[in-house]
Chain A
Amino acid sequence: MGRNTREAFRSLSAAEFFYRNREIAGFSNPSRALYQTVRELVENALDACDSHEILPSLYIGIKLVDPIKSFYKVTVSDNGIGVPPYYVPYAFGQVLFGSKYKLRQTRGMFGLGAKMAILYGQLTTGKPVEVETTPLGSRYKYYFKIMVDIKRNEPIIIEQRVRKLKKKTHGTTVSVTIEGDWSRAKNKVYEYIKRTAIATPYANITFVPPDNSEVIVYKRVIDKIPPPPKEVKPHPHGVDIEMLKMLISSSEASTLKEFLAESFQSIGLITAERFLRDIGFDPNMSPEKLTTEGIKALVSGLKEYKDFKPPRTDALSPLGEELIVAGLRSVLEPEFVAATTRRPSAYSGHPFIIEVGIAYGGKIPSKDEPQLYRFANKIPLLYDEKADVSWKIVSNVIDWKAYGVEFPAPLVVLAHICSTKVPYKGVGKESIAEVPEIEKEIKNAIREVARKLRTYILKKRREEELRKKAITYIKYIPEIASSLAALSRPPTAEINGGGLTAKEIEIMLLHLVKHKLEKIGIILDIETLKGKVKTR
């Protein structure tokens, strides 16, 4: 986080900020707040590891600390880079709003969400946030209890300790005490952790729930971390008036063309000059001299100009097919799984990548509809599913029958959008809007993976047919064997010729069936075959 450029932040009364944003930020009631707190802390923890390519090990604990008042202590530990001790009070005890307009795909809202959780905790329980951190390379563990001075928006350090460590380590533990409602939040919390585990199969996640329920452990199944996204400057097509104003105020450029070349991707000095002349601006004017009208004209020019190169995609960090497959496989234990990462695309100047995974069968329960797991920038989206563009595609657009899926079916579809700007529908940030470019990509991605599913299902169906065929023979073996045994005994003692026992004939017939099936490619275990049939 920007410790050097204080001017990039704008302070605001913390309480004012919180009340203004509590609904949007997801703290509308104790149940939602508990879920949201877990989510914010987990996402911060994962970011602390991912961004430095550390394989995450997370501990999530929820403890009921006051059953009467329904206070819960939510603790999340990570093995990330830690927080420098001098920065801890500001990182956890002061609400900062905004940041530089550098864009990159991260999970949380620049740590703002976690602060909402801290504030919510303080306002509902009066308890401070507890932070324990060891920065990368340090041999000390720093312990803080911090509260927010709500009026002045300043951290109050309640307690502070340092301990020297024997072994080198790193990471942060944050505990927030809040008023919550576990019984109502429970399903969402479990689901959130499960889906997080799917998207981060390279993490160890341990969850200790408050009731006496079982501890949930998701073990790391792969040692590969997706490459961290690079910070990139905004693309001119994605600009808006507020953003442009911010950029101008934080820029030290003396001419408009320098400002553009410095603040945007896909614009060099030459492009800037040509563009500015084309839309009738003086390339050498000072950006500070722009009028409101001028800013408006510049924004629409930037948005509509056709000759900028398309947005760069290295700001995006997709999970990749390998991780999606590993995550779906280890968490859901399906019989089939496949995934695709589409090539980058863009909408209104914002690059995005769509990824889709499909898991089918195995331990996935059969449902009347596809089970959709949505992710945006690696974050699971749990609410407002039916409003999401992927739901529309999965439930209405894709003809699953054509892919061999007949509902009820054990079908999970994972849809992940990574973008520097995820086009959320409404303020809840829980569902993706129907942007045509995105819709098309999701559709194609699902179709691409569904084709693999179809191949699998058809093959499986064929094998099932063959197994069925095997049963049609096998089920009659005892009857045939005992009949043949009787018929093979000569009618009188005078006639020679040995009879065979039913068991002997049964074994011979089973071998016959086995051979026949091997010819068409099914290998059957005779012992299990025998188990399939009961002799009367």
Chain B
Amino acid sequence: MSMLPYDIDYKQRLEAAKILHEAFIKLVEQIKKKENPTLVFPKRTLSNTIYDEERKLLLLGRETQKRRFLDVNEARKFMQTLLMAKIIYDSLISNEYPTIRDLYYRGKHSIIYYDHKGRRREENTWDEQKESDAIIRDIEVITGLLREDMLILSKEKGKLVGKIKLKSGGDIIDASKMGHGAYALEPTPDLIEIIDVDADFVLVVEKDAVFQQLHRYRFWEKHKALLITSAGQPDRATRRFVKRLNEECGLPVYILTDADPYGWYIYSVFKIGSITLSYESEKLATPKARFLGVSMTDIFGERDKKGKLIKQPYLSSKERKNFIIKATPRDIKRAKELLNYKWFRTKQWKKEILTFINKKVKLEIEALASKSTKFLADEYIPEKIENGWID
């Protein structure tokens, strides 16, 4: 480890390596004391995923699991955990940026052994990437380090435009000078240095196509916005970067998704974290994020108890007829699941979801854009930001 290209990388590497070293040297101590080497870490299960209502985050609960070497059911995973930790440790020290697929290949080989009858046997350290990916998640939980902290890369699809200057890998990037393209968010968002921001809010768009339309319309310039797309389910880097913009730069964050249970879940992943990766919520979730739309009341308007229309819909009945799509039974089922999640049990969300279940229709953002980009950019979005987002 002589000269490292970037200071920020070097520090991060050393820090992560130290934590890994300390977490696993404990096992050597246990072995020396003739104890069964045991890793204790929070359980990554649905039952141990808890919604913290105060912090508005999905967090791992207090249940822990023990991974012991001398446990018939855990021995293989114990081996895999150590193997993976070693590979990550090695690549931290030798200045590499492996992807999770690289880690899978680096650790995959066969163990040759002789069974109790003396027959020669082979067993792969792991067979599918699914297996090694799960072990990476375990190591994240064991060490409290996210893969980004361990400089493990993953394919990222988040994009950004707007008046913001960043320093990444030693280069200064001006996200307002990207032409028709955009700045692709890097897999290690904590290594990005935010130099200067000139914006009032962040708009996250689920659909890449809508992002591009708004970008070409120079929405971000007109409305002093940072425009981001997650291109579907948000990856970790996008979530992390959105959180940094919200918390470090104090920018409000608005999320624009399709009007269906999947869109709502994307919003909830940004806001409170995902169920499968709840241990990352503290680092990735943006509890203050707001749901901009498209909401059911945007489609159908809102009536009071007497049936009087108190809020006009954004779509005429003719447009509604053209744009709405019939919900599938799967959509309905998913919507009913969402109703069970505590964080969707607010008055407004219940109304949204129940309307969906009643009407059995959904709508894509593209429908609003097809009305006209101008409508979407200058009418719908500003109005909704003004008055009409859901928490």
Contact = CB atoms under 8 A, between A and B. Distances in A.
A467 interface: yes
B209 interface: no
Interface in B19-66: 20-21, 24-25, 27-28, 31-32, 34, 36-37
Given A472-B72, A492-B1, A487 B31 contact: no
A487 B32 contact: no
A418 B112 CA distance: 55
A483 B72 contact: no
A534 interface: yes
A2 interface: no
A190 interface: no
A484 B82 contact: yes
Q: How large is the interface on B (under 10, 10 to 19, 20 to 34, 35 or more residues)?
A: 35 or more
A482 B115 CA distance: 21
24 contacts: A468-B115, A469-B72, A471-B116, A473-B75, A476-B69, A476-B78, A478-B111, A480-B83, A483-B83, A483-B86, A484-B31, A487-B82, A487-B85, A488-B21, A488-B25, A489-B21, A491-B89, A491-B93, A508-B32, A512-B69, A515-B34, A516-B36, A533-B113, A536-B112
Contact of B31 (A468, A471, A474, A509): A509
Contacts of A515: 34
Contact of A467 (B36, B78, B116): B116
A28 to B, nearest CB: 47
Interface in A402-420: none
Nearest to A509: B31
B18 interface: yes
A532 B111 contact: no
B109 interface: yes
B113 A486 contact: no
B178 interface: no
Interface in A488-529: 488-492, 495, 497, 500, 505, 508-509, 511-513, 515-516
Contacts of A511: 34
A497 B25 contact: yes
B125 A479 contact: yes
B92 A473 contact: no
A464 interface: yes
Contacts, number: 109
A472 B90 contact: no
A480 B79 contact: yes
A486 to B, nearest CB: 5
B172 interface: no
Interface of A is mostly: helix
B272 to A, nearest CB: 34
Contact count band on A: 35 or more
Interface string A341-367: 000000000000000000000000000
A500 B28 contact: yes
A495 B116 contact: no
Nearest to A466: B116
Contacts of A426: none
A185 interface: no
Contacts of B20: 487
B72 A487 contact: no
Question: Closest 8 interchain pairs by CB?
Answer: A491-B17, A475-B113, A483-B86, A476-B79, A483-B82, A467-B116, A487-B24, A532-B114
Nearest to B82: A483
A473 B25 contact: no
A476 B72 contact: no
A457 interface: no
B139 to A, nearest CB: 11
Nearest to B86: A483
A473 B258 CA distance: 51
B76 A471 contact: no
Contacts of A486: 86, 89-90
B111 A512 contact: no
B34 A487 contact: no
A531 interface: yes
Given A479-B83, A533-B113, 11 more contacts: A464-B116, A473-B70, A483-B83, A484-B31, A486-B90, A487-B82, A490-B21, A495-B18, A508-B31, A513-B70, A515-B34
B86 A487 contact: yes
Contacts of A497: 25
A495 B14 CA distance: 11
Contacts of B123: 475
A170 to B, nearest CB: 51
A475 to B, nearest CB: 4
Given A488-B24, A491-B14, A533-B114, A473 B69 contact: yes
A472 B76 CA distance: 8
